[in-house]
Structure 1
Amino acid sequence: MRTITAPVVVTATDSRRLAEAEMLAAQLGLPFVAEADPADESCAALLQYSEQGLQLQQTARKRRPGPVWVDFVTGAAAHRRKYGGGSGQMIAKAVGIKGGVRPQVLDLTAGLGRDAFVLATLGCEVTLLERSPLIHALLADGLARAADDPEVADIVARMRLLPADSIDWLSRAEPDSQQVLYLDPMFPHSDKSALVKKEMSLFQAVVGEDSDDAPLLEAAWPVAEYRLVVKRPRKAPAIEGRPWSYQLIGKSTRYDIYTKKKLELGS
């Protein structure tokens, strides 16, 4: 599992969840405080239970950005679920969704689960691997809250989250045992939105950047039955090593697709 590289303190702004926060702190091996000061310069971030859910809040900055948390029910996730373009989306084409084909997807770098949620919304069964205990906790909390919402409960039921280092997990997997593998390594993103900039800055400060994308690509290839999909910023270099088969290129995002055989209905 990936270690937390900067000081993080667990707390709760919702007093009803203090016991839960203390338990989470023990699980993660992090300090717990009943009351925390967002201006405290002794820690990089607060992992805090609020009324909205588990949030990661950056500290010790005069202009602190808002907290990072996982929300599959409202906001951007709800808008994309309703108006995102369905199977016409580039990510859908990248993983091979067409007609009645809905491949099973192994997401090797789950992060906050946004792409996995899109794929699950479109009908794919998605297994999510996340090696950072902190990010895993945020994602697990978001999935638990979404499971209680009648509008998205059936979607998140198609999402299975595992706390695992992907390279270790893949080393134990059988060859050709996963239909489609999906990889979106942490990379300085070309997306200029305040949300992405905030999340990238916070995660890079707390858990560091991904530096093993090439070994991950090589570990993933034997396990993929049909294809391996790598999401990149549009102008970013391809991952070194294996050459891609073809690309799908959008305004800010690109998908490098490594194919083995054609996905067909009933696969």
Structure 2
Amino acid sequence: MPASSSTKTAAQPPARRIREVPAVSRALAILRLLAARGEPLTLKAIADELELVTSTCLHILRVLVDEGMVKVEPSTKRYSLDVGVLALARSVVEANPFPARVQAALDRLSEAWNVTTIGVKASGLDDLVVLALARSRGPFQLYVEVGSRVPPLTSATGRLVAAYAALSDAELARRFKGLVWENAPDFEAWKKEVRAVERKGYAIDRGNYISGVTVIAAPIVDAQRRLTHALVALAVTDQLSGSRAQAVAADLIREAQALS
């Protein structure tokens, strides 16, 4: 999950490469690349990564800068996302009914267990976004923001996504090689946890993604039993050990089933 007790840049999926596609697709590819890298990039770096003609890339970047979606540092000529993207994202979140539906559950769970709770959109292998949250009342809080993206397949939410995608063992192994963890689990152990999601009704990450942090996630599904969202609880591992973790998981499952 996008959480840490200190400053941390979450791993992001690689940007999609494009070739002969319309200008809109190229612009979106540039935005995705800047979001994935999380740091300013030069014109050459952007053009090379996306296999764009430099002049074409520059023209699109100038339009994105004019529209407030991208900014350029005058001294370094490096590009990064600008606040215009936040305005669009905020509009999407405000128009989405899920945050309003889930907030009461997040607040109750956070208050009951003194953990940070979040509601995540989880449709597709790569589309995981935090839509709602409730922070713990303790002095030590994990950093999470509405609108932040969750790295695919890592942490407890990633185990849910992998389970509901019904990926083959070979595909799980291929994708596992590209995941970034602080304490990477053994692949066979991770695969068993993915396969156990349907039976247990939840997934748990004990310090794999972020050292010292335990994450528990329960699935919210639609009428066709497809994963659409997840309820997630995060806390330092000392707060979610043994029977307490099981109790929090059971409470998450009840709330998730009520929302499914």
TM-score of the superposition, structure 2-length normalised? Answer: 0.34
